[in-house]
Structure 1
């Protein structure tokens, strides 16, 4: 029996380029709150989800056509695209919206930030190249604790909310975890095609959902500023963001890609400070430092350098 046959797959690691992609993705998804804040004042949430995925799907199809990529050539992935669209968009978006109706933003942010933990558990069970490590668990817990500190007293808002709402948010994070594992099945598919497929499937699912619950969207009543926010949400925070996400999953694994949920709140707070004149408090800096330290532990390079120096 050859060595290649007996050796288990190498664990997926974060390269410097993957870290840059992850930080950029966190910044982009943090910025999505700005676009959504503008649009949701006029557009019902479920209709906004439809606009978001439809704009992204259309833009990605145009991009593929301009690049000479035939999306039809990947039709044998139709079932996987549909599953990915449900797990990445339709199910979690709906559950998060339901949770938001009765839970405080602080509690929901904390629950959403547990996504990497669920992804570690699911990946350890369903994959052979993403096993649980002490570095990952310690780093993720530090990141969540840092997020709790950043939110501060606001985390207490909504603690009295119903259990079903908290379970809904947890189920949304589980959906993201399973979506990350499913995304690993597309290793031979370009991230742009994977993004296009799941966005197209999400659009087809959301059309009847919106017609049933919101009715036909009143597009003529939406002003230019709101449409610009919708375009920003669809093009930048969805189409381009998912290309980055699936690129990270393909090269670094689902667990590492899920770490973006620790970065998004930091990005949103920093963008609010820059563009909305919001002020950073001492607990914000402390929380960000803990999140950064947690990510450094997950990366493992500093620990490796320190261990090597200890041996010298």
Structure 2
């Protein structure tokens, strides 16, 4: 077992877990924050890609480039929806729903690739659905207005887009992780540029800018570097287990630093969601292969 790779992946997942805490202190909306994140990731990772000489060894494939650009659209939407959910919901609740992505990958495989849905997969889906209702709060389902304002839709859309990112990238083999991420974040800059309100960056405090740059350089640039450097040296099962460091850190930060106190039903909901995810990941019939070039929170 590669101990160094395990340590690097654990550190990257732990840092990922703090992104919600950083996001709510940036002082700018989700769309503008994702725009900055795309710029930082593009500059940071493409620089490593260039100075290590990886760009000289790159093998470009038109089909994979197009597929990667499509993945980039899903990835950027995933980030925007996730950050909008952070604006409406507690970080713990958002992250728990966001981690439903493996369940959606399972469902996509069933309906699009006509893969057989096992009893285990069906049970995991039902458990996660019940957990989602508990975690959002049954009271929020009493009216459409309450439901729409709960942030549940944004969190669920982020999970769906994350699942689509994983699903559409499963057949990427030729492009390196750095080339893939460069294309994905660069397309994010192009997509978001016309919609950004740059006046929102005026009057921000020094602390706001530190959180903004931290989200871009640390949570995207540095963490992606650690992730890419470790993922290829570890088996899928280890990666699947270590990804749980992310939500654990997020929930701990939310409870310790932001004084989030889940109700009994919400605690039960969080437990049910993670139980369903474990059922999906450790299934002997189907494993969710986490792609090094699509892991983006």
Q: Pick the TM interval, shorter chain.
A: 0.5 to 0.7
Asked if 1:197 corresponds to 2:183, the answer is: yes
Shift of 1:161: 3.8
* 2:71/2:184 contact within 8 Å kept: yes
Shift of 1:137: 4.3
Report the counterpart of residue 179 of structure 1 in structure 2: 165
Change (3 A) 1:28 1:137: farther
Shift of 1:157: 4.4
Shift of 1:270: 0.9
Shift of 1:47: 1.3
Change (3 A) 1:31 1:140: farther
Structure number with the higher helix fraction is: 1
Change (3 A) 1:68 1:266: same
Report the counterpart of residue 236 of structure 1 in structure 2: 218
Equivalences, count: 273
Report the counterpart of residue 40 of structure 2 in structure 1: 55
| Structure of greater Rg | 1
Q: Could you tell me which of 242, 252, 276 is aligned with 1:270?
A: 252
Q: Normalization by structure 2: what TM-score?
A: 0.66
Change (3 A) 1:25 1:142: farther
* 1:135/1:300 contact within 8 Å kept: no
* Structure 1 CA distance for aligned equivalents of residues 71 and 56 of structure 2: 16
Q: Comparing both chains, which one has the higher relative contact order based on Cα–Cα distances under 8 Å and sequence gaps of 6 or more?
A: 2
3-state DSSP of counterpart to 2:53: coil
**Could you give the per-residue CA deviations for residues 36-58 of structure 1, whole angstroms, max 9, x where no partner exists?**
0110x2x2332111111111111
Report the counterpart of residue 306 of structure 1 in structure 2: none
Change (3 A) 1:110 1:70: closer
Unaligned 5+ segments in structure 1 are 1-15, 303-312
How big is the alpha-carbon RMSD for the aligned residues of Structure 1 and Structure 2? 4.8
* Structure 2 CA distance for aligned equivalents of residues 287 and 18 of structure 1: 33
Change (3 A) 1:170 1:94: same
